[in-house]
Amino acid sequence: MPTLLVTRRLPPAIEARAAKAFDARLTASDTPMQNVAAQAVGADAVICCPGDVFDAKLIGALPDTVKVIGTFSVGYDHVDVAAARARGIAVVNTPDVLSVATAECAMLLILAAARRAGEGERLVRSGGWAGWAPTQLMGTLVSGRRLGIFGLGRIGRELARMAHGFNMEIHYHDVARMPPELESGAIFHASDSTFLPICDVLSLHAPGGAGTMHWLNAERIAAMPRGAIVANAARGTLVDDTALIAALRTGHIAAAGLDVYEGEPRMNPEYRLLENVVLLPHLGSATTETRDAMGHLVLDGIDAVLGGRTPGNLVK
């Protein structure tokens, strides 16, 4: 029976499958595991999570027995895939199965930011709500607005599908135009100069990494319409926090909804001082159905690699 090291506590159904199929080294902790290389001695496979930094140094220290790393996520910028490949270690992830849940979270952020739901919830909880008033917490409609999606991948396309139900006009910016059947009527923009000025609402869905680091910076924010809304359920590194906070203070960005942060769980503390930002603790894929599907998919990929097969979720 192969040995599997799991760096975080996983859903019960996934831990049960792992314990049945592997000599599984499970943990009850929700925090990143320390001394992973030492813990992996004798292991054939490792499951890690976002926030577990599998850089070249750690991968270089893994024992020779490790043949595959599975990340409990679709994003893999926390894993040095090139370093793993150089050591002959395969990397598998969890594409597709979390697209709907994460798009739902992005739509939640958009709606909550536009309708000032965070402020309203805090008002009621504080006991300070004095009743309905004609001018109380007036937000803005989402319906009929122009939605700009930065990155029309699986999650971006699911968000576009949902946004059609709000009669939103969909625009997107990506490295290349999608085939018409994937666009579903969305309008492609090859450059920031045409894309950003139409973004009444901007939702970020690009991958992390050096190429998109601080993509939403002061210059790009200035190109957006005054009063625009920003949502980020992708990667915290996409946003220059100092620039977004400044724009939220001036009202150039009316509101923002954030589920991810650079350096999370740490975040720029200035966000917590702003009323016009909705802050969630990385809940994008946090549904029972989705997390179970993610776990089964990453175990399927590990099974395939250890069985000498090429898995469909192999990171290339």
Cα–Cα distance, 142 to 140 (Å, whole number):
7
Q: What backbone torsions phi and psi does residue 267 show, to the nearest 5 degrees?
A: -145, 165
Residue 231 · residue 208 · CB < 8 Å: no
Residue 311 · residue 301 · CB < 8 Å: yes
CA angle 84, 85, 88 (to 5 degrees): 90
Question: Which residues are tagged catalytic?
Answer: 235, 264, 282
